[in-house]
């Protein structure tokens, strides 16, 4: 009944109806909120250009071509011709295109675009059969979870952003079909991607209050994976125990966390909140590259396995390198959404870090699409060098590209009733209803090519509110602020919000500066390889093919000054200079086909093999080095350097050893790890063990490693192996 009333209301007052405060169909409040594509404009700059290019590309497509595969299935004939490609052009991404177009129409208030989006949706609607069957193929090859998810995402967006009630009619029809026909066995990590379905169904519930969507969303609860994260169990332990699968599909598994986020919003259950909060830490610690990207070969990586996916997979066999390391557009889309849920529910500034990285090094570093709609599907980070290249036509990433570049609008600012929050340093303007009336905040900057941002307040009245800035984690010295030319003292700790609260007036100008500097970030759970960073931007070594191994390491990199001109030698290590044609350049600047290197071996590496050590007790030799399961068995070695890494291999039957340096215990090294993981080209059957101690001081040190006879709860044995040690100066 409520449903019918709201439709009538909407028809009667098409715009006013949306302004009416809807009944509350959610259980968890937001601490802070994004602007939800309202009152925000990008100003000229690289990322505005990217957004405009992608938008223009999609708007140039002939609606008849977009609709072609749906009309052909339904009517056996259709005007125009399909866009071509393996999936008939729009078949795979149609829902994403609807979603992207309606959000862009919301941002731009563009009536022509709105009309076009509604035309596409309504024409699609005409191809839905009476029983709700839809799609581009026969009933025998009906849309599965994957197709349904993308379409309902589009319909929910048309309803939310364009206020078009027809969207709910179609949603109702195809959901009737999906409720009857979608397989609900929810087998563990099947490639159907059923576990991403909940998000848009819970959103449908939030927008309509219809219990039916809530109930259907519940069906797709990803108990295994979300539960493992919520309870901080080892997620790879879960996958190992499952019979038929040895890994998780990266994009969809991570995207399912957005479902957990919306599940928290809808149900208020703490476990969903715990899932996404813990997932973020787990991602950062084990899965995330410096770019914010994840999922080489579209798989999540066993813990500690990241460095190997950057090198040759089978150690020394370059021809089995992974093809790409990050499904860039879809992966960024998932990251943006999860980042927003985290920020909404916690109000914590630190989650802006991931969005920022993905903006500059993920989707924001994608080259333009070509005329045939091909894009860079995956980004490559191989240590031995890589290039950006176009692949795939009319695939998932084409669909998400439109959504992702438009999402820049929704990431820059957040708000609550008393404060406005600047999350990203992107040229833009935002209108906000401050406690004392409407204000406009304008942000002008060349960041990240400059460390300085200028903000101008436009307001008809003076307004008291807090202006809060995310102090980036990489901005080690915090941030400094001037208001109308006068320095103001502000508490600005990295990873938190810096707040200036006062009575703001028209034409107030705030200048903010961040601490942009070069730093190095290692791959997760490793000391090396490292990526060179300038603030949030991953810098790659261009034209580096012929150069001998030269490695940025934090202490040895001197500030590259005006790196944007990139014509200078950069001193990577005292006494050594890069070849004059080697430059560090922002990854986002690299063009398709240009050669670059993103990850580098840390400087000064020296490997000492096990055969130079002294062994005591029972040790056996094998292909990996030496191994012992006897409590008290030990080895000793001498080395010169301030950092030492114990090398060996992780196994499921490995235990713990005690590590002493210069006679003093420095820790317990746990060698347990999942082995026998083999997905596509990613042979992770043998994951290296790396355990290190830093800051030992220069000079010679004595290492002693003693098999303790202990193990962690997951481990099947107590063995400890050694292959050698790696020493850094
Ligand atoms: Zn994709």
Q: What pLDDT, in 10s, does the model give residues 595-604?
A: 888 888 777 7
Per cent of the chain over pLDDT 70 is: 87
* Å from CA of 330 to ligand 1 middle: 4
Number of Cβ within 10 Å of residue 289's Cβ equals 26
Which of 39-48, 240-249, 718-727 has the weakest average pLDDT?
240-249
* Å from CA of 708 to ligand 1 middle: 46
* Å from CA of 420 to ligand 1 middle: 33
Which of 130, 54, 143 is closest to 91 using CA atoms? 143
* Å from CA of 328 to ligand 1 middle: 7
> What are the φ and ψ backbone dihedral angles of 560, each rounded to 5 degrees?
-80, 15
pLDDT greater than 60 at residue 14? no
* Å from CA of 252 to ligand 1 middle: 9
Q: How confident is the model at residue 207 (pLDDT cuts 50, 70, 90)?
A: very high
- Quickly list DSSP for 655-700: -EEEEEETTEEEEEEE-B----EEETTEEESSEEEEEEE----SSE
Number of Cβ within 10 Å of residue 702's Cβ equals 12
Cα 500 versus chain centre, distance = 30
* Å from CA of 373 to ligand 1 middle: 14
Q: How confident is the model at residue 227 (pLDDT cuts 50, 70, 90)?
A: very high
* Å from CA of 29 to ligand 1 middle: 31
Which of 51-65, 231-245, 656-670 has the weakest average pLDDT?
231-245
* Å from CA of 149 to ligand 1 middle: 14
**Do residues 608 and 703 lie in contact, with contact meaning Cβ atoms separated by under 8 Å?**
no
What is the mean predicted confidence (pLDDT) over 297-302?
Answer: 88
Cα 34 versus chain centre, distance = 18
Q: Cβ neighbours of residue 222 under 8 Å, at least 6 residues apart?
A: 195, 198, 256, 259, 260
Alpha carbons 662 and 657: distance in angstroms, whole number: 16
Q: How confident is the model at residue 546 (pLDDT cuts 50, 70, 90)?
A: very low
* Å from CA of 335 to ligand 1 middle: 13
* Å from CA of 263 to ligand 1 middle: 23
Type and span of the H or E element at 309: helix 306-310
* Å from CA of 720 to ligand 1 middle: 41
* Å from CA of 638 to ligand 1 middle: 50
pLDDT digits (tens, 9 = 90+) for 627-640: 999 999 999 999 99
**Residues forming beta bridges with residue 307, ordered by sequence position:** none
What is the mean predicted confidence (pLDDT) over 203-228?
Answer: 96
Q: What is the pLDDT of residue 640?
A: 95
In the numeric block, which tokens belong to residue 708?
A: 């303790």
**Do residues 378 and 326 lie in contact, with contact meaning Cβ atoms separated by under 8 Å?**
yes
* Å from CA of 168 to ligand 1 middle: 26
Which of 22-26, 335-339, 557-561, 588-592 has the weakest average pLDDT?
557-561
For CA atoms 486, 490, 495, 501, give the dihedral sign: negative
* Å from CA of 331 to ligand 1 middle: 7
* Å from CA of 377 to ligand 1 middle: 7
**Do residues 559 and 507 lie in contact, with contact meaning Cβ atoms separated by under 8 Å?**
no
Q: Where are the beta strands (DSSP E) in 598-633?
A: 599-600, 606-609, 614-616, 620-622, 625-628
Q: What is the pLDDT of residue 391?
A: 86
What is the mean predicted confidence (pLDDT) over 50-68?
Answer: 94
* Å from CA of 298 to ligand 1 middle: 9
360-362-367-369 Cα dihedral, nearest 10 degrees: -130
What is the mean predicted confidence (pLDDT) over 639-643?
Answer: 93
* Å from CA of 347 to ligand 1 middle: 29
In the chain the first and final C-alpha atoms are separated, in Å, by 73
* Å from CA of 358 to ligand 1 middle: 15
* Å from CA of 4 to ligand 1 middle: 37
Q: Cβ neighbours of residue 249 under 8 Å, at least 6 residues apart?
A: 189, 191, 193, 298, 299, 300
* Å from CA of 115 to ligand 1 middle: 27
Q: What is the pLDDT of residue 541?
A: 80
* Å from CA of 355 to ligand 1 middle: 18
Beta-strand pair 537-542/596-597 = antiparallel
* Å from CA of 557 to ligand 1 middle: 36
Which CA distances in Å does 526 have to 199, 419, 441, 522, 606? 34, 40, 42, 6, 16
**Residues forming beta bridges with residue 687, ordered by sequence position:** 650
* Å from CA of 396 to ligand 1 middle: 4
* Å from CA of 110 to ligand 1 middle: 27
Q: What is the pLDDT of residue 574?
A: 33
* Å from CA of 205 to ligand 1 middle: 26
In the numeric block, which tokens belong to residue 581?
A: 């044609």
* Å from CA of 395 to ligand 1 middle: 7
Which range of 74-88, 677-691, 696-710 scores highest in mean pLDDT? It is 696-710
Q: How confident is the model at residue 518 (pLDDT cuts 50, 70, 90)?
A: confident
* Å from CA of 332 to ligand 1 middle: 10
Q: What is the pLDDT of residue 728?
A: 87
* Å from CA of 78 to ligand 1 middle: 28
* Å from CA of 450 to ligand 1 middle: 32
Type and span of the H or E element at 650: strand 643-650
* Lateral strand order in the sheet of 724-728: 606-609, 724-728, 643-650, 687-693
* Å from CA of 397 to ligand 1 middle: 3
Number of Cβ within 10 Å of residue 129's Cβ equals 14
Q: What is the pLDDT of residue 4?
A: 44
pLDDT digits (tens, 9 = 90+) for 449-475: 889 999 999 999 999 999 999 999 999
Which CA distances in Å does 633 have to 76, 560, 598, 707? 76, 49, 41, 5
What is the mean predicted confidence (pLDDT) over 381-390?
Answer: 87
* Å from CA of 637 to ligand 1 middle: 49
DSSP 3-state of 98: helix
Which of 189, 313, 279, 304 is closest to 240 using CA atoms? 189
What are the start-end ranges of the H helices in 380-522?
A: 396-406, 408-411
* Å from CA of 243 to ligand 1 middle: 27
Q: How confident is the model at residue 578 (pLDDT cuts 50, 70, 90)?
A: very low
Q: How confident is the model at residue 373 (pLDDT cuts 50, 70, 90)?
A: confident
Q: What is the pLDDT of residue 226?
A: 95
What is the mean predicted confidence (pLDDT) over 518-538?
Answer: 88
The pLDDT mean for the chain works out to 88
pLDDT greater than 50 at residue 581? no
* Å from CA of 398 to ligand 1 middle: 7
* Å from CA of 327 to ligand 1 middle: 6
């Amino acid at each position: 009944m409520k449903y019918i009333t709201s439709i009538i209301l909407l028809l009667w007052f098409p715009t006013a109806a949306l302004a009416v405060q809807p009944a509350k169909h959610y259980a968890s409040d937001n601490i802070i909120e994004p602007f939800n594509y309202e009152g925000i404009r990008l100003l000229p700059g690289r990322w505005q250009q990217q957004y405009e290019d992608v938008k223009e590309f999609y708007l140039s497509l002939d609606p008849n071509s977009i609709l072609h595969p749906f009309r052909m299935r339904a009517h056996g004939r259709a005007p125009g011709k399909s866009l071509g490609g393996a999936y008939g052009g729009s078949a795979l991404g149609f829902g994403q295109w609807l979603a992207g177009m309606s959000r862009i129409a919301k941002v731009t208030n563009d009536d022509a675009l709105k009309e076009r989006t509604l035309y596409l949706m309504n024409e699609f609607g005409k191809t839905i059969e009476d029983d709700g069957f839809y799609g581009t193929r026969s009933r025998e090859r009906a849309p599965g979870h994957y197709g349904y998810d993308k379409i309902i995402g589009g319909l929910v967006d048309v309803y939310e952003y364009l206020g078009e009630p027809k969207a709910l009619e179609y949603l109702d029809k195809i959901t009737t079909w999906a409720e009857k026909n979608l397989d609900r066995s929810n087998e563990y990590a099947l490639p159907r991607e059923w576990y991403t379905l909940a998000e848009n169904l819970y959103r449908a519930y939030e927008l309509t209050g219809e219990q039916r969507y809530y109930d259907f969303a519940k069906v797709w609860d990803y108990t295994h994976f979300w539960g493992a994260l919520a309870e901080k169990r080892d997620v790879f332990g879960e996958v190992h125990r499952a019979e038929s699968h040895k890994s998780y599909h990266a994009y969809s598994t991570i995207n399912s966390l957005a479902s957990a986020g919306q599940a928290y919003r809808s149900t208020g259950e703490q476990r969903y909140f715990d899932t996404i909060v813990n997932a973020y830490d787990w991602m950062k610690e084990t899965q995330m590259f410096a770019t914010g990207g994840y999922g080489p070969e579209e798989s999540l990586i066993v813990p500690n396995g990241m460095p190997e996916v950057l090198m040759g997979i089978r150690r020394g066999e370059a021809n089995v390198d992974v093809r790409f390391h990050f499904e860039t557009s879809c992966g960024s889309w998932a990251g943006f959404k999860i980042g927003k849920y985290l920020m909404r529910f916690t109000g914590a500034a630190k989650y802006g870090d991931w969005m920022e990285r993905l903006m500059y090094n993920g989707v924001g570093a994608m080259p333009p699409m070509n005329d045939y709609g091909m894009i860079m599907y995956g980004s490559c980070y191989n240590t031995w060098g890589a290039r950006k290249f176009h692949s795939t036509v009319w695939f998932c990433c084409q669909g998400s590209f439109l959504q992702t570049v438009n999402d820049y609008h929704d990431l820059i600012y957040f708000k609550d009733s008393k404060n406005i929050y600047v999350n990203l340093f992107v040229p833009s303007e935002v209108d906000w209803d401050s406690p004392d009336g409407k204000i406009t905040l304008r942000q002008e900057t060349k960041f990240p090519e400059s460390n300085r941002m200028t903000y101008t307040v436009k307001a008809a009245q003076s307004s008291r509110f807090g202006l809060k800035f995310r102090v980036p984690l990489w901005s080690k010295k915090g941030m400094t602020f001037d208001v109308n030319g006068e320095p103001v003292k502000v508490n600005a700790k990295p990873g938190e919000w810096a707040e200036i609260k006062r009575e703001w007036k028209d034409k107030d100008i705030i200048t903010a500066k961040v601490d942009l500097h070069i730093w190095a970030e290692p791959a997760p759970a490793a000391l090396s390889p490292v990526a060179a960073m300038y603030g949030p931007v991953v810098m790659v070594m261009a034209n580096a093919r012929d150069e001998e191994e030269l490695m940025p390491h934090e202490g040895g990199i001197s500030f590259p000054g005006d790196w944007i001109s990139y014509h200078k030698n950069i001193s990577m290590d005292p006494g050594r200079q890069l070849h004059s044609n080697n430059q560090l350049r922002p990854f986002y600047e690299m063009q398709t086909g240009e050669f670059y290197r993103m990850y580098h071996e840390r400087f000064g590496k020296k490997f000492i093999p096990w055969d130079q050590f002294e062994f005591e007790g029972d040790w056996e030799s094998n292909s990996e080095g030496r191994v012992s399961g006897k409590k008290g068995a030990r080895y000793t070695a001498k080395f010169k350097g301030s950092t030492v890494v114990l090398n060996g291999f992780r196994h499921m039957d490995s235990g713990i050893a005690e590590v002493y340096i210069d006679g003093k215990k420095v820790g317990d090294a746990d060698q347990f790890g999942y082995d026998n993981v083999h997905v596509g080209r990613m042979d992770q059957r043998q994951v290296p063990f790396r355990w290190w101690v830093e800051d030992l001081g220069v000079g010679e040190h004595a290492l002693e490693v003693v098999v303790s006879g202990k193990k962690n709860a997951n481990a099947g044995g107590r063995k400890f192996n050694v292959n050698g040690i790696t020493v850094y100066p």
